[in-house]
Chain A
Amino acid sequence: MDPFLTSRIVTDVLGGLTNGVTYGLVALSLVLIWRSTGILNFAQGAMPMFATYVGFALLSYHFGYWPCVVACVIAAVLIGGLTERLLVRRLYGKPEINPIVVMVGFLIVLEAVAAAIWSSTPRSLPSPFSLIHWQLAGRPFALSPFTVYEIATALVVMLAVAMLFRFTNLGLQLRASALAPEVSRLLGVRVGRLLTLGWMLSTAVGVITTILVSANFFSGLTPTVMDGIFAYGFIAAAIGGLESPVGAVVAGVLLGVVNQFVTDFVNQNAVIIIALAILVVSLMVRPSGVFTKSTQRRV
């Protein structure tokens, strides 16, 4: 095989992986919230974006990168918790349309307020690792220290979430609250608190994604930085099935790779169009997701 083509494919796969893990993380957060509260959080990208702005506003006070990251996570937890308590609580049990509309409205408000406070001009976040791609045999390789950091962080986060759910008592309670809220309450599980916790967790995962993305895309942090990622994350979650965390992550990674190939071999504009086509086809074939077991379908 033509060595140039091989290296191109390898580059695309690696580059796609880098994006794909971010889609996977967003998809994972969406699935977490969907399974625990039955709500599709359209503001899943905007909430962490806001938290990132808040956290990195501290930069102006000469704090370093890592303290700011911690601040971002704290802000994300607060935003997630407050949103659940104040906004989402009123939406349980309402017709399907209500939460969708409210979360879309929330998305718009968050982006508008962020732009009002911090303007839409991109801000470049400092990066703890070099963004410059390594060289392989004189040609730029798909990876840089930063992308490796990105992939590693994403994998660590996914693993941590998986372990939390599988092996801890808290995870057991979270799963129970999502699967059988009433029975859980009869067993003394404080379902309300766990739902709030679920939102906090989901936003925290989101903020890590946002921080990674904002540094990676050279264009930096803007109020709309998570829009595209959210769209692809949603598509991945929908294809993988909103019930399956593993499916969502896998679909996200695959989608990232596919997108990269499309960008390389077709053009930039075709990416979302093809992703949309994949979504449509996938939903026609398996309306509740590729990885959803048929008994689990919650339509």
Chain B
Amino acid sequence: MKLGTVRPIPIAVGLAFVATVIALVSTSTSREGVALCVALDVAIACGAVLSLPRFKSSHPVVFRAALTLLGLDVALFVTYYFPSSTNFNLSTGAAMSIVLLGLSFLTGASGQISLGNGAFMGVGAFVMAIWANHHTTTPIVITLLIAVACGALVGLLLGLPATRLRGPYLAGMTLAFAVAFTFILATFSSWTGGDSGLQLPTAVTAPRWLDGFFAAGTPPLKTTTLYLTDFTILVAGVAFFFMANLFASRTGRSMRLIRDNDVAAELVGVSLPRTRVVAFIVSSAYAALGGALLTLIDNSVSPPTYSFALSVTILSLIVIGGIGTISGALIGGVIYAFSTNVISWITTQTGLNPQGNLASQLNGIIFGGLLIVTMIFAPFGISGAVRHLWHRLRARSPG
């Protein structure tokens, strides 16, 4: 029986029925059962949609939605079983991946470079904290949107002069912004809390209904961490979904046209300055979103975090992951999530003194070194290397 003749829908329905039964039978609490049931059924439904032949080309948006939904489904499912520390790292990674997505879009899709996305993160992070401190009743989602809007606004302010600049000038200007940001924070220290930064007025706690999933005696921190992690992952999923659609849209295509050939773009009628500014705004909005989420996760924000070094880290991560790709942002986020762990593992394995000079500089040496090596030998990052490999394998096999 050839695969093409298999009908996905009836199989999916059948699987769903089986899954529901298994879920209800195997779990102890009804809440858990319902949760497992939902998780499995959603996964099966998405899988069915994704396996429909030629669905990707005929209904691209729905396809991406299904893919995102599947990813979220799996992610939300597994985070339940992870320890808090892992979830904490994952949430940080998810927030960072949103930032990386913005920068990936800017550099890859429109060919511009920014060395200041750490500062844009800071904008979002501080706006979130400042607003929360002054307007304690605003729902979190609204505050997030406000932070994103502020990030977009700053992006507009910097993006306007940026349209007329070429690579090195633009890089230098964003670098100057990144450096200046620290001083801007210091100038307005009454708002930004000076050296120690700000705390969120009310710590984010998990909603009540989540408690029912856990066994009695589970510390609230675990549920809160899980809640924040899931929340961040959800937001990331939405962000990725939007970005995927943006990449494929007319705007995305005109940006790639600019990246590859200014003159051709102008001839086709793409407005160069406007498209460049839009790319800048999107990238800074995404960065601000990531920063605001980090504030939520850490429950605080402090100026030293948002230094020039952060901008460089962001750049390294997306270069390693793969500029101009969505998967690159994901890879970069994962690397960031576990980089502290990996580095401390390296420190212990090589027997370095953790308080010593070398250990404290390991972060910079590794990231800076990877940046150089990747850019010279694999400028399209891990994502690009995998894609390259995939094409070579497919070219090998006949038909």
Contacts and interface: CB of A to CB of B under 8 A. Distances in A.
A and B touch in the complex (CB under 8 A): yes
Interface of A: 34, 40, 42, 87, 90-91, 94, 96-98, 100-102, 104-109, 111-113, 115-120, 227-228, 231, 234-235, 238, 242, 267, 269-273, 275-276, 279-280, 283-284, 287, 299
A287 B180 contact: no
B186 A100 contact: no
Given A104-B371, A284-B161, 8 more contacts: A87-B376, A102-B376, A105-B312, A116-B358, A117-B357, A269-B186, A283-B165, A287-B169
The A interface, classified by DSSP as helix, strand, loop or mixed, is helix
Contacts of A227: 179, 308
A186 B171 CA distance: 34
B202 interface: no
A100 B167 contact: yes
A105 B184 contact: no
A283 B169 contact: yes
A42 B180 CA distance: 17
B176 A275 contact: yes
Interface of B: 107, 111, 113, 115, 158, 160-161, 164-169, 171-173, 175-177, 179-180, 183-184, 186-187, 308-309, 312, 315-316, 319, 323, 357-358, 360-365, 367-372, 375-376, 379
A95 to B, nearest CB: 8
B179 A231 contact: yes
Of the listed residues B168, B173, B184, B308, the one surrounded by the most CB atoms of chain A closer than 10 A to its CB is B168
B178 to A, nearest CB: 10
A284 B164 contact: yes
A101 B375 contact: yes
Contact of B315 (A101, A267, A270, A279): A101
Of the listed residues B184, B308, B358, B376, the one surrounded by the most CB atoms of chain A closer than 10 A to its CB is B376
A284 B160 CA distance: 9
Contacts of A91: 376
Contacts of A98: 375-376, 379
B376 A115 contact: no
B315 A269 contact: no
B256 to A, nearest CB: 14
Contact of A109 (B158, B167, B323, B372): B372
Nearest to A120: B357
Contacts of A280: 158, 161, 173
B176 A108 contact: no
A111 B364 contact: yes
13 contacts: A40-B167, A42-B175, A96-B167, A100-B113, A102-B375, A105-B371, A105-B372, A105-B375, A108-B367, A117-B357, A238-B169, A280-B161, A299-B166
A287 to B, nearest CB: 4
B282 to A, nearest CB: 18
B368 A112 contact: yes
Nearest to A117: B357
B381 to A, nearest CB: 11
Given A101-B315, A102-B376, A284-B161, A112 B361 contact: yes
Contacts of B370: 105
A234 B176 contact: yes
Of the listed residues A91, A105, A280, A283, the one surrounded by the most CB atoms of chain B closer than 10 A to its CB is A105
Given A40-B168, A283-B164, A116 B361 contact: yes
Nearest to B379: A98
Closest 3 pairs between A and B when the two form their complex, measured CB to CB: A112-B364, A105-B371, A108-B368
Contacts of B111: 96-97
A231 to B, nearest CB: 5
Contacts of B365: 109, 112-113, 116
A240 B113 CA distance: 22
B183 to A, nearest CB: 4
A87 B369 CA distance: 12
Contacts of B376: 87, 90-91, 98, 102
A283 B372 contact: no
B109 to A, nearest CB: 13
Contacts of A112: 361-365, 368
Contacts of B168: 34, 40, 96, 100, 242
B118 to A, nearest CB: 13
A116 B352 CA distance: 12
Nearest to B172: A234
A105 B161 contact: no
A274 to B, nearest CB: 9
Contacts of B172: 40, 234-235, 238
Contacts of B176: 231, 234-235, 272, 275-276, 279
A239 to B, nearest CB: 10
A209 to B, nearest CB: 18
